[in-house]
Structure 1
Amino acid sequence: MITLKNLNVSYGKSTAVRDVSFRAEKGSILSVIGPNGSGKSSLLKGILGLVTVSGGSIEFQDEKDESYFGISRIGYMPQVPLFPKNLTVSELIDFFGRLEPFDKDTFAHLFATLGLKSEENKKFGSLSGGTKQKMNILQCFSVKKSVYIVDEPTASLDPYVSHILKEILIAKKSEGSLVLFSTHILNEVEELSDRFLLLSEGTLLIDDSPRAFPEKRGCDTLQSSLMDFWNREYGKKK
């Protein structure tokens, strides 16, 4: 479980995340949406400790034994994988495995499913964008974690690998992990998420179910309900 209370992330005089509070439970998928510059990536990086939090608090807690577990129990798939370009796929896998032991069965399944055998001797810098993302998937999900944080998960993925990744996210939820991901694709939110957060200019505007929110507004889809919200409520405030 992760609990955020009045979280703020600032870069100099600019505030990227402003007083964001929410609680996310294990065994669920929570998506973060919003326009470019809304604070999605800054929120995720603040939770991970990759950027300095300028205010508020983040609590990590294992519901099973009520003990605090911290960021060591979080898996991270960044939007752009910045792995050493001069290492081959095989060398990178060895490197990742030394940093943190893989779950052998999960690794073997993902390695085969993602078709990385034929890429073993290629240097990371020479790989296509899609294959780099396959390595990103492999390093994140081959280790068992309580929480997985994924930034724009289907970026540069073809439909086949995108489908594989969605199956992985659902499987991790079924195993009892919390999955937190950012996306621009509303179909992914409707397909995968138990809840979604809408950010705008660093402020949390909506925390709701992608199924319940449209019903409340008398709309058929998440997209139409968000447009209705924006025009009727938030647009007036602007």
Structure 2
Amino acid sequence: MIDVKNLTISYGSNSVAVRDVNFNVESGCILSIIGPNGSGKSSLIKGILGLVQPISGNIHFQGKTAETHSIGYMPQTPRFPLNLKVKELISFFKKLEPVEEERFQSLLNVLELSHHMDKKIGSLSGGTKQKISILQCFSSEKDLYVIDEPTASLDPYISHLLKSLLLEKKKEGALVIFSTHILAELHELADRFILLSEGKILIDASPDEFLKQSKMVNLDQALMNFWNEEYKTKK
């Protein structure tokens, strides 16, 4: 379980990105984080990963600080050394952390990366870099996976593969946290979702529960209606 208590993240006195956020999620669950640009999604993810330190509050995963755990992380935009060949980068990954070789080889084949091994990272498309990110993230078992905009730059086949991996990890008992702008992914994958705005949680619910309460036809309409009402209250 991940437990976030009274979390506030700031980049200066006039820039509070996350404001007193509280939630907890059990393992074996998929949580989606959504919100407009500047809502605090990236800062919350960075806080979970231990990449930024909160000015107050804490994050615990299975009773310990989250950053002490080995976390599977897939960023929206992979940033690998452009001068390395794919095989050199993979060798580096394996030195950092042991991989399950059978799983690694299976993913390598499914992602069709074998014929890219002698190419430099800088010559690859964004989609191929994302495939390498999938390989790195899922080649060893983790208790927590944090995925930022999971299907960005992916073709439909690899997008389907990634979604299958996320559901597989949930079935195995891992906790999966992902951010997305694609509401179809939210309804397809998430057990719960959090809507952030200006660093605060506005909604914390299951997609089906929220849709039922909204009495709308689909999640897009339900969220748009909620957002319009929220906007009216601020005027």
TM range (shorter): over 0.9
Partner of 2:86: 89
Shift of 1:81: 1.1
Shift of 1:159: 1.1
Partner of 2:22: 21
Partners of 2:214 and 2:222 within 8 A in 1: yes
Which residue identity does 1:27 align to in structure 2?
A: G
Q: C-alpha separation between the residues in 2 aligned to 1:77 and 1:192?
A: 16
Q: Secondary structure at the match of 1:196?
A: strand
Select which of 192, 200, 204 maps to 2:201.
204
Partners of 2:5 and 2:59 within 8 A in 1: yes
Matches within 5 A, 1:170-209: 170-209=167-206
Partner of 2:110: 113
Partner of 1:46: 47
Q: Secondary structure at the match of 2:45?
A: helix
Q: C-alpha separation between the residues in 1 aligned to 2:30 and 2:191?
A: 5
The alignment-based identity, stated in percent, is 60
* Runs of 5+ consecutive residues of structure 1 not aligned to the other structure: 62-66
Q: Secondary structure at the match of 2:55?
A: strand
Partner of 1:163: 160
Q: C-alpha separation between the residues in 2 aligned to 1:27 and 1:235?
A: 37
How many residue pairs match? The answer is 233
Shift of 1:69: 7.0
Partner of 1:8: 8
Shift of 1:235: 3.0
Select which of 126, 129, 146 maps to 1:129.
126
Q: C-alpha separation between the residues in 1 aligned to 2:172 and 2:232?
A: 40
Partners of 2:32 and 2:186 within 8 A in 1: yes
- Displacement over 6 Å in runs of 4+: none
Q: Which whole-Å deviations, capped at 9, do the CAs of 1:25-80 have from their partners, x for residues lacking one?
A: 1111000000111111110001111112111111111xxxxx63743331111111
Q: Which whole-Å deviations, capped at 9, do the CAs of 1:109-154 have from their partners, x for residues lacking one?
A: 1111100001010011111110000001111111210000011111
- Distance of aligned partners of 1:204 and 1:69 in 2 relative to their CA distance in 1, 3 Å threshold: closer
Q: C-alpha separation between the residues in 2 aligned to 1:225 and 1:105?
A: 43
Select which of 144, 148, 164 maps to 2:145.
148
Partners of 2:48 and 2:66 within 8 A in 1: no
Matches within 5 A, 1:37-76: 37-61=38-62, 68=64, 70-71=66-67, 72-76=69-73
Q: C-alpha separation between the residues in 1 aligned to 2:182 and 2:64?
A: 33
Partner of 2:37: 36
* Runs of 5+ consecutive residues of structure 2 not aligned to the other structure: none
Which residue identity does 1:205 align to in structure 2?
A: L
Q: C-alpha separation between the residues in 1 aligned to 2:124 and 2:191?
A: 34
Q: C-alpha separation between the residues in 2 aligned to 1:221 and 1:44?
A: 27
Shift of 1:232: 2.7
Q: C-alpha separation between the residues in 2 aligned to 1:182 and 1:75?
A: 14
Which residue identity does 1:180 align to in structure 2?
A: I
Q: C-alpha separation between the residues in 2 aligned to 1:135 and 1:178?
A: 22
- Distance of aligned partners of 1:150 and 1:127 in 2 relative to their CA distance in 1, 3 Å threshold: same
